[in-house]
């Protein structure tokens, strides 16, 4: 079964992240908060595409759903207030 | 006509198209159901839905079309806007209402 920690590792291996948190314990549905400098200047669709790219075809097939919040470091800092 | 051409024609000939699992009345997946609710909350009721479960070619073809691996997918005036997460974020920030304001009915 795919674990949240494993997804986190796979994403980190393919995408440099300032912060990443992946939650989910049913093996198919996950939620992630990802902060990466790669997201700066990219729209939401492009950001999610970067994450899907990092996950690769095999992982995409195994995960039914990955909810994503994607932030640039600047947006992340703003959110932290 | 190739499946990619069929998809292109569908999204350009209809202002709001949602590729989803099931129908607006009977969504077959929570994420598709949420996407329908968000569109309705934006005042859009005459959107076109395409049930990907009814056609395996469309189901794969739409993933290739937008380089996007998941369903639902929302298209407005031919442009891919995002899946259910992005729809929800845009709805919360008011961006989606702005994009759809001339299409609400």
Per-residue pLDDT of B47-88, as tens digits, reads: 999 999 999 999 999 999 998 989 999 999 999 999 999 999
Domains of chain A: 2-78 (3.30.300.90)
pLDDT attached to residue A81: 67
Render chain A in DSSP notation, one character per residue.
Answer: ---HHHHHHHHHHHS--SEEEEE--SSSEEEEEEE-GGGTT--HHHHHHHHHHHHHHHHHHH-SEEEEEEE-HHHHHHHH-
What end-to-end distance do the CA atoms of chain A give, in Å?
Answer: 37
The pTM for the full model equals 0.86
Per-residue pLDDT of A38-50, as tens digits, reads: 999 999 999 999 9
**CA A40 distance to own-chain centroid:** 15
The whole-angstrom separation of Cα B103 and Cα B55 is 28
**CA B75 distance to own-chain centroid:** 5
Of A60, A67, A69, the CB nearest to B69: A60
- Write down the residue that tokens 């609710």 correspond to: B37
Per-residue pLDDT of A3-40, as tens digits, reads: 999 999 999 999 999 999 999 988 888 999 999 999 99
Per-residue pLDDT of B18-58, as tens digits, reads: 999 999 999 999 999 999 999 999 999 989 999 999 999 99
Cβ contacts of A48 on chain B, cutoff 8 Å? 68, 82-83, 85-86
Q: C-alpha distances in angstroms, A19 versus A9, A40, A76?
A: 12, 14, 9
Q: What angle do CA B46, B51, B57 make, to 5 degrees?
A: 135
Is B29 marked as binding a ligand?
yes
The whole-angstrom separation of Cα B66 and Cα A44 is 13
Query: What is the number of structural domains in chain B?
Result: 1
Closest by alpha carbon to A46, among B68, B62, B87?
B68
Of B66, B69, B89, the CB nearest to A44: B89
Cβ contacts of A69 on chain B, cutoff 8 Å? 85, 89
Q: C-alpha distances in angstroms, B1 versus B7, B8, B9?
A: 10, 11, 10
Closest by alpha carbon to B87, among A16, A53, A44?
A44
pLDDT attached to residue B34: 97
Cβ contacts of A39 on chain B, cutoff 8 Å? none
State the residue range of the domain holding B52.
1-98
Contact assignment for B68 to A65 by CB distance below 8 Å:
no
Minimum Cα–Cα distance from A71: chain B residue: B89
Does residue B95 register a pLDDT over 90? yes
- Interface contact A26, partner B, CB < 8 A: no
Of A49, A60, A68, the CB nearest to B85: A68
Cβ contacts of A45 on chain B, cutoff 8 Å? 66, 68, 80-82, 86
What CATH number corresponds to the domain at position B28?
Answer: 3.40.30.10
In a domain, B105, yes or no: no
In a domain, B15, yes or no: yes
């Amino acid at each position: 079964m795919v674990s949240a920690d494993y997804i986190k590792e796979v994403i980190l291996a393919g995408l440099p992240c300032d912060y990443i948190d992946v939650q989910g314990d049913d093996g198919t549905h996950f939620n992630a908060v990802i902060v990466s400098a790669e997201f700066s200047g990219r729209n939401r669709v492009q950001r999610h595409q970067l994450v899907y790219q990092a996950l690769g075809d095999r992982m995409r097939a195994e995960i039914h759903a990955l909810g994503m919040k994607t932030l640039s470091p600047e947006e992340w800092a703003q959110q932290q207030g | 006509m190739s499946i990619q051409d069929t998809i292109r024609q569908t999204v350009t000939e209809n202002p709001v198209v949602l590729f989803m699992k099931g129908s607006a009345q009977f969504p077959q997946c929570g994420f598709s159901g949420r996407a329908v609710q968000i569109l309705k909350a934006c005042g859009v009721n005459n959107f076109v839905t395409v049930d990907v479960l009814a056609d395996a070619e469309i189901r794969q073809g739409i993933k290739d079309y937008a380089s996007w691996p998941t369903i639902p997918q929302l298209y407005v005036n031919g442009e891919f806007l995002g899946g259910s997460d992005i729809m929800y974020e845009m709805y919360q920030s008011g961006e989606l209402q702005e994009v759809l304001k001339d299409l609400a009915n």
